[in-house]
Every structure is written in C-alpha cells, then in structure tokens.
C-alpha cells in the first residue's frame, strides 16, 4: 500500500514529486538484500546484457546530459531542477515495484480517480479544485475536448496517462483478478480515456489493444507464452469488442479528434510547419500546438546535436 501510494500521490494535486525521495529509505529498509545481490552480480560481470540495458543506460544518460549542461554553461540550474536525481529514482522505483499486489492497489487508486472525474463530468466542471487556475464550468457537452475532466490531477493529460497505465497493467500483468473484476476495471479505464479525451492516449490505447490481440494469437499458434501477457480469454474477447466499438465510432471520433467546426489558428509557414502539414496535419485543429511544434522542429534542425543543453524546452514560455 505504501509503495503504491508513493507511486500514485505525486501524480495528483495532493503532493509533489519530492515524495519519490521516499523510495530511497524504502529500498534500504525492505530491499537491501536484493540491491546487494544486484550490485554483487554487476561487479562480477558488468557487461552482461541485463546491465547494458539498465545500469549502464542510466550512467550513459546521466553522463551525457551532465556533459551537455556543462557545455551550455548551465550546470548549476541543471542541479537545481533535480534531473540528476530524478532519473536514478525512476529506475530505483522500477526495480522495487515487482509485486502484483502493488499494481492492483495502483489500479484501484486510478479507478477511484476516474470515478471522481465522472462525478465532475456530471456536475459540469473540469475539477473540484476551484482554486485551480484552469478551473472552469462546462458551457455545453458538444465537444469532448471542452468537457475534459481532471479528476484529482493537475490537468486532463495526467489523468489520461494514468488511464493508459491502467490499461497496460490490465493487459500485461497477471493481477489474479476474477472475470468480473477485470471487466469492471477495463470499463473504468475506457471511461477515463474518453472523459479525459487525450487524443494521443486514445490512439495509443487502440494501438496497444491491437498489439495485445496479435500477441494473444501468436501465443496460441506457438502454444506457449512467448509474449508475456494476461491470457484471460474474457479479456481477449473484451479487447475485440473495444476494437469493434472504436472502428464503428470512427466518424464521431474523427470529428472530435480533428475538432471540425472549430476555427483553425493561422500559423505562419516555416520549415517545421511545412513538415507538419506534409504528414497530414494541415487541416487538424491543434490548440496552438502547430506553432509550438513547428518552432520546435525549426530549433531541432538548427541545433541537432546539443539542443538547448538539456534544459526544459520552451516556446513563448510554454513547454513542448
């Protein structure tokens, strides 16, 4: 319960990311032996594949971003932002989050937040935190985009990402749930995806379910669990139903995703905007993102190696 709460709470408005520091004492207290074994094994054969994909990857990442910040003369600010510490903390938390019971509690917490969001939707507000700077009351329910709910999070995107995590856990971890529980959690994640209407999450969840179906059929043909998935037959049927619903809803979703009927913002042509238009985004309303992404692509073209020296990249004081 403690580990699940530490994973979950910083994703809400209730706490901030400094809570993740608690993973350090938890690791020492409860996973000391596992960590000692890990490092003993590492020093015996440091260039095994498992270490190239884990420990050496962290070292390489931290070394390159530190070097990049030094080249840009921004090392002090780099230390203040906490990147040097947050990256190892992320890998440390992944190392100790191995018990399916943690995932079950995490899934339950996400589900509770989705239910809070559903009540927000019924009350016609995007969040119950009235002090939130982006708090607003819905004018109408015509567009999913303008009725996105925040749940307990700082914005709808955070909650949408948690719904995606919920889907991943359901489909790729054996949570030892019965069929009724699987269906309930699955429906709640689907509800959360649509009420937050993070367009990227809608697309990625659909792609993930297609991938799951492929893995499921492959395992049946090979008669083994070559791809580690939750092989519950009812879950597989549910994923097929989800896919059929998405296919039947394409006309509605296309209008919602492209926001037809909403006036498009004119963006001055640049190399970045030309690239966006060339991949089919010319007539898609992107809530100002075309300007942000276009300028970002221009910046990447002009600074392909060092970027902005590993700082947070902003365009017109908005993060990209």
User: In the chain, pLDDT over 70 holds for what percent of residues?
Assistant: 92
Checking if the pLDDT of 281 tops 50, the result is yes
Average pLDDT rounded to a whole number, residues 297-312: 87
| pLDDT category of residue 261 using cuts at 50, 70 and 90 | very low
C-alpha–C-alpha distance, residues 67 and 69, integer Å: 6
Q: Of the ranges 70-74, 216-220, 238-242, which one carries the lowest mean pLDDT score?
A: 238-242
Query: How buried is 304 (Cβ within 10 angstroms: 0-12 exposed, 13-18 middle, 19+ buried)?
Result: exposed
Please report the pLDDT score of residue 312 as a whole number: 79
C-alpha–C-alpha distance, residues 150 and 16, integer Å: 16
Q: For all residues of the chain together, what is the average pLDDT?
A: 84
**pLDDT top residue among 262 and 202:** 202
Please report the pLDDT score of residue 155 as a whole number: 92
Angle, vertex CA 312, rays to CA 75 and CA 275, nearest 5 = 130
Please report the pLDDT score of residue 110 as a whole number: 97
Please report the pLDDT score of residue 55 as a whole number: 83
Alpha helix (H) residue ranges in the chain? 2-8, 23-30, 32-44, 49-52, 55-71, 75-81, 83-96, 100-123, 156-172, 179-196, 199-222, 233-248, 250-258, 271-276, 289-302
CB 239 within 8 A of CB 209: yes
The SS3 of residue 53 is: coil
| pLDDT tens for each residue of 91-121 | 888 878 878 899 999 999 999 999 999 999 9
| pLDDT tens for each residue of 52-76 | 877 888 889 889 888 988 888 878 8
| pLDDT tens for each residue of 129-185 | 999 998 999 988 777 778 899 999 999 999 999 999 999 999 888 888 888 898 899
Instruction: Kindly state the DSSP code that residue 264 receives in the 8-state scheme.
Output: P
Which of 9-23, 48-62, 156-170, 202-216 has maximum average pLDDT? Answer: 156-170
Please report the pLDDT score of residue 49 as a whole number: 82
């Amino acid at each position: 319960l403690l580990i699940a709460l530490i994973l979950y709470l910083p994703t809400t408005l209730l706490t901030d990311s400094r809570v993740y520091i608690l993973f350090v004492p938890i690791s020492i207290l409860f996973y000391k032996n596992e960590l000692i074994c890990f490092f003993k094994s590492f020093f015996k054969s440091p260039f095994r594949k498992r270490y190239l994909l884990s420990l050496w990857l962290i070292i390489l990442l931290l070394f390159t971003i530190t070097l990049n910040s030094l080249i840009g003369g921004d090392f002090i600010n780099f230390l203040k932002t906490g990147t040097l510490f947050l990256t190892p903390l992320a890998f440390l938390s992944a190392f100790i989050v191995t018990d399916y019971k943690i995932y079950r509690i995490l899934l339950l917490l996400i589900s509770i937040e989705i239910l809070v969001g559903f009540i927000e939707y019924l009350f016609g507000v995007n969040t119950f935190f009235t002090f939130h700077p982006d708090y607003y009351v819905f004018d109408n329910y015509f567009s999913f985009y303008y009725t996105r709910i925040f749940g307990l999070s700082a914005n709808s995107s955070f909650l949408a990402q948690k719904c995606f995590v919920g889907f991943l856990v359901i489909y790729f971890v054996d949570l030892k749930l019965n069929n009724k529980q699987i269906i309930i959690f699955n429906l709640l994640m689907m509800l959360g995806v649509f009420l937050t209407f993070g367009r990227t999450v809608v697309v990625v969840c659909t792609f993930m379910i297609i991938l799951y179906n492929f893995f499921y059929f492959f395992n049946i043909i090979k008669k083994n669990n070559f791809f580690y998935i939750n092989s519950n037959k009812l879950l597989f049927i549910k994923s097929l139903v989800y896919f059929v619903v998405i296919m039947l809803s394409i006309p509605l979703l296309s209008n919602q995703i492209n926001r037809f009927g909403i006036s498009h913002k004119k963006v001055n042509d640049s190399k970045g905007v030309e690239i966006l238009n060339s991949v089919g985004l010319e007539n898609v309303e992107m809530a100002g993102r075309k300007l942000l992404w276009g300028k970002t692509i221009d910046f990447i073209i002009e600074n392909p190696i060092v970027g902005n020296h590993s700082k947070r990249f902003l365009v017109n004081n908005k993060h990209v």
